[in-house]
Amino acid sequence: MNPFLNPRIIIPFINNYIQDPKRLERLNPKELEKYRDKALKKIFSKAYKVPVYKNKYKKSGINPNDIQGIKDIIKLPFISRQDLSENYPDGVVSPDFDLDKGHIICTGGTTTKYCCNSGSDPVCTYTDTPSLLRGSIITTRENRFHNLNMRNTRFAHIGNFNPYKFDEVFEKNVIKYAKTFVSFDNYYNIQASNKTHEIIEKLETFKPDVIISYPAIFQDMAYLKRKGFGNNVKPKLLFVGGAMLDNYTRNYVETAFNCRMFNTYSSCESGAEIAFECTEGNWHIHSDFFHLEAVDENMELVNPGERGRLVITKLWGTGTPIIRYTGMEDWITLGNGEKCSCGLKSPIFGRPVEGRILSNIHLPDGRSIPPSQFLYITDVLNKLKTFKVKKYQIIQNTIDEIDILIEIDEDQRNKEPSFNEISEKIKKIYKENIGTNVKLNIKEVNKIEDDTETGKPAPLVVSNINTIESCKRKCK
Ligand SMILES: [Zn+2]
């Protein structure tokens, strides 16, 4: 049956569609606090029936009445990636959840089990159609901020439409049925694994106003655009997410497309955008949908303004609850309550999300640097005002040896600055920042390969020593 004909689905959806987008602007701080308290209470009581949570809570002596609001959340134990993957499928939903009506969404993971026999297995969670619909409303909030009319604007989404991926699950269970009632001619989904030439050709025909994709896909498209392909692809706005966006790539892509690019922050587990970047460059958190905490390596809360590991709580939805979940493994810095000059009232991050904890760079002097802070190379390239580097990748091999791989744009090979000059400047800036105890190899390569384990585009920063470090921690 078409879910849009089911009043139990469509009536709450319409109600949410009216209430959700402007909630953060409409409610005063007290009202919002009350709303969040109520939402957490509801989610917690649902979670108490879900085996993975129930067992943990019972062990910690948590009773169903212990959580009256957000302030009580610190009483709850954390839930890890491993907790969810070990308890999947029956243990991650309540016994009354109809698995047949549920939809499974899985995160990426590596196939190699490198430690504790679990490594980074994919995590699968359950959602359902009402939750998919609710999550999509959050996007409406972002589109409104950017003055994008959902009916007239032409959106091209270059995403991951493989089975069990959020994009595919949404397409199969929402868009397919919604098409019976509304035209989706102004929406176009393209599989990101297509060849970049083919993607550009498709965009040429579709002529999008907005393109949504991953940094690496934008980078590849921008490269072709610079070579004269896709002349009719003239978007007004680009939304980027799913991986860290560095300043060089941003500059490279924005210049090629001649429009601005904004970050969105989400994950498979969150089921909706958690935060988005506004025109002032601040990341606004959808705090009526999510409660975010930041903790240190001992899992103690850090102060606002201090960098910590993300702990996320989803204050909405059905299926697998996400309460104090540590598995996204991103570095975040919560704000001090400062307001953004763009006019939105929602809380902002103290600084943009800084990439995966597992990609941290460890130095012999004991420093541990988040990946986004280790991109000194982007300063060099931006200062040299060159787009000669097509791609780059930083790989930490050992504690005292780091490779920087560089892919050069062949058409610009003979243009200034020379590879040698770029290379010397990169060496200099790293030496200034990390000292002389680390051997830095700048290598030109023909191609920076995609991640062979996950098939995803190569991450900007890879640490081969973190795997061992994180295993030690997990196996303790
Ligand atoms: Zn703002």
pLDDT-above-90 percentage for the chain: 89
Per-residue pLDDT band for 112 (boundaries 50, 70, 90) equals very low
Closest by CA position to 352, among listed 284, 411, 403:
284
CB 243 within 8 A of CB 215: yes
Q: What is the mean pLDDT of the chain?
A: 93
Distance CA 264, CA 238 (A): 10
Q: What is the CATH number of the domain that holds 211?
A: 3.40.50.12780
Rounded mean pLDDT, 198-205 = 98
CA 167 / ligand 1 centre spacing (Å): 27
Whether residues 329 and 364 fall in one domain: no
- Name the token pair of 33: 């606090």
**Residue where a domain stops, chosen among 301, 327, 354:** 354
In the predicted model, is pLDDT for residue 197 greater than 70? yes
DSSP category for residue 110: -
pLDDT for 108 equals 75
**Residue 281 identity:** G
Whether residues 26 and 91 fall in one domain: yes
Distance CA 459, CA 392 (A): 9
For 367-403, give the DSSP string. Answer: -EE-GGGG-HHHHHHHHTT---EEEEEEEEEETTEEE
pLDDT for 259 equals 97
Whether residues 100 and 155 fall in one domain: yes
In the predicted model, is pLDDT for residue 121 greater than 90? no
Backbone φ/ψ region at 363: left (φ over 0), alpha (ψ -120 to 50), beta? beta
Identify the burial level of 300 via C-beta atoms within 10 angstroms of its C-beta, where 0-12 means exposed, 13-18 middle and 19 or more buried: exposed
Whether residues 398 and 288 fall in one domain: no
Rounded mean pLDDT, 82-106 = 94
Whether residues 462 and 399 fall in one domain: yes
> Whose structure tokens read 């299926």?
319
Whether residues 73 and 179 fall in one domain: yes
In angstroms, the first-to-last Cα distance of the chain is: 49
Closest by CA position to 51, among listed 114, 1, 97, 117:
97
pLDDT for 455 equals 67
> Whose structure tokens read 């509801």?
42
Whether residues 340 and 417 fall in one domain: no
Whether residues 321 and 371 fall in one domain: no
Among 220-229, 374-383, 453-462, the minimum mean pLDDT is found in: 453-462
> Pairing relation of β-strands 361-362 and 368-369?
antiparallel
Whether residues 431 and 335 fall in one domain: no
Prediction pTM value: 0.93
**Residue where a domain stops, chosen among 354, 377, 400:** 354
pLDDT for 355 equals 86
Q: Is 240 helix (H, G, I), strand (E, B) or coil?
A: strand
- Name the token pair of 416: 């200034």
Element spanning 39, H or E:
helix 29-47
Range of the domain at 163: 1-354
Distance CA 318, CA 300 (A): 28
Closest by CA position to 44, among listed 34, 35, 54, 32:
54
**Residue where a domain stops, chosen among 292, 326, 354:** 354
Element spanning 426, H or E:
helix 419-434
CB 280 within 8 A of CB 341: yes
Contacts of 223 (CB under 8 A, 6+ apart): 196, 256, 390, 409
Per-residue pLDDT band for 154 (boundaries 50, 70, 90) equals very high
Whether residues 366 and 249 fall in one domain: no
pLDDT for 356 equals 87
CA 286 / ligand 1 centre spacing (Å): 12
In the predicted model, is pLDDT for residue 454 greater than 90? no
CB 436 within 8 A of CB 363: no
CA 186 / ligand 1 centre spacing (Å): 27
Q: What is the CATH number of the domain that holds 445?
A: 3.30.300.30
CA 141 / ligand 1 centre spacing (Å): 13
In the predicted model, is pLDDT for residue 109 greater than 70? no
Whether residues 128 and 64 fall in one domain: yes
pLDDT for 475 equals 47
In the predicted model, is pLDDT for residue 177 greater than 80? yes
pLDDT for 407 equals 96
Rounded mean pLDDT, 378-405 = 96
In the predicted model, is pLDDT for residue 245 greater than 90? yes
Determine phi and psi for 302, rounding to 5 degrees.
Answer: -100, 165
Rounded mean pLDDT, 271-299 = 97
Q: Is 264 helix (H, G, I), strand (E, B) or coil?
A: strand
Rounded mean pLDDT, 205-231 = 97
> Whose structure tokens read 């957000």?
70
pLDDT-above-70 percentage for the chain: 94
Give per-residue pLDDT as tens, 202-213: 999 999 999 999
The number of distinct structural domains making up the chain is 2
CA 307 / ligand 1 centre spacing (Å): 20
Distance CA 251, CA 383 (A): 11
Per-residue pLDDT band for 465 (boundaries 50, 70, 90) equals confident
Give per-residue pLDDT as tens, 427-452: 999 999 999 999 999 999 999 988 76
Give per-residue pLDDT as tens, 256-283: 999 999 999 999 899 999 999 999 999 9
DSSP category for residue 202: H
Whether residues 402 and 415 fall in one domain: yes
> Whose structure tokens read 């909706």?
272
CA 347 / ligand 1 centre spacing (Å): 9
Residues with CB under 5 A from ligand 1 (ion): 278, 280, 282, 340, 342
Q: Within 10 Å of residue 264's Cβ, how many Cβ atoms?
A: 18
Count Cα neighbours of 34 within 13 Å in the Cβ-side half-sphere. Answer: 6
CA 331 / ligand 1 centre spacing (Å): 20
CA 285 / ligand 1 centre spacing (Å): 10
CA 44 / ligand 1 centre spacing (Å): 31
**Residue 282 identity:** N
In the predicted model, is pLDDT for residue 467 greater than 70? no
Query: Chain centroid to CA 99: how far?
Result: 27
Residue 468 CA: distances (Å) to CA of 42, 114, 128, 457, 473: 39, 9, 37, 23, 9
Distance CA 388, CA 422 (A): 10
CA 335 / ligand 1 centre spacing (Å): 12
